[in-house]
Chains A and B, each alone.
Chain A
Amino acid sequence: MPRVLIVEDDPDVRKAVQLGLRHQGHDVLAAETGEEGLEQLGPFRPDVVVLDLMLPGMSGLDVCRRIRHRDQVPIIMVTAKGDDIDVVVGLEAGADDYVVKPVQARVLDARIRAVLRRQDASVSGAVRPRAESHGQLVIDRAGLVVTYRGEPVALAPSELRLLLTLSASPGQVFSRQQLLEAVWEHSYYGDVRLVDACVKRLRGKLGELGGDPRYIQTVRGFGYRFGSP
C-alpha cells in the first residue's frame, strides 16, 4: 500500500482527495499546511507527496524546495492555476509531475502509480555494476549515486531517470516526446514542458546553467543529447 502525503489547505478538497485515494487503495495522510506537511515527512515516511501549489503561509513552491533539499521523495504538484508559467515554475522547483485541479481520484491515482513505478524501475533497471565517468561527472548506475567534482549530487527521481536515460547512449539525440515517454511514461504530447523544466533543473545541479552546457546539450528543434566530454 503506497503511503501518500497530501498537503492541501481546503478542508473539503482534503477530505475528498483523502477519500478518493483511500478508495483507490492508498494509505493517505493529509496535512493542512506546508509546515505540517514538512513535519509529517519524517514520521510518516510517505512514498509520494501530493502537494497543493497555493497554500496559506508557506507556499507550495517553498514546501517543494524544502522537501527537495533533504528528501528525494517524488512530488506530484496539484495546481489550481494551471497557467503555463505556474506549471513551469512548479516543475523547476523540483516537482516530478503535476496535475491541474479539478482532478479525479482515478487520474491522481494513475499519476501516483506511474511515479512510483518509475522509481522502482530506476532501481531495478540499474543492473550495470560499474560506475561510468564522464569528465567530472560520475554516474553509479548500481548505487544510483551521481557525483560531480567528487561531491554527490542530490537528484529527484525524475532528474535521475532523465540523466540515466540520456547518459545510457551518449551522443544520441532524444526527442522530448521520447524522453517524456522514457522518464514520465506519458503517451501524449501534452507535457513536453516537463522535459524542459527537468533539463533545466538537472543543468542547474550540474553547474552548467550559464553559457554552454557540456553534458545535456540542446539540439534545436529536436530535443536533447548527452555529451560526454
Chain B
Amino acid sequence: MMIPACRLADLPRGEAHRLDLDPPVSLFHTDDGEVFAIDDTCTHQDASLADGWLEGSEVECPLHASKFDLRTGAVDSPPAKLPVRTHQVLIEDGMIYVQPSTEAPNLPPCIAARLAGGPA
C-alpha cells in the first residue's frame, strides 16, 4: 500500500521528514536530489534518524556515531549493529509516496523490550 508522505516541494534538499507510522519512517532528500525512506529509529537506541547528520547518501544517528546507508539501510560501525529497513519511494505529481517494507524492523533493545512487554 502506497502511503502519501508529503509534497516534494515541502522537503528541501538536505532535509528529513518523519512519518508517524508504527514504527516511524523517515524520508531524506539528499543534496544530490534523491529521496529515500528508511526506518526512523536507530537500531541501537531510541533516537530519530530524521534528527541526524545527513551527508551524501548516509545519515549519522544524532546521538552516537553509527551511520546508515540510505540506499541499503546498512550500518557502518558501532554502537549500532543491525541495519534499518529501507522502503520504496514513489514521486508522482509532486507528491512523495512510501511503500512500507513488509520485513520485520530492527528496533533497539529498549523499544523491543517495551513492545514485548505489551502495551505500556
Chain B associates with chain A: no
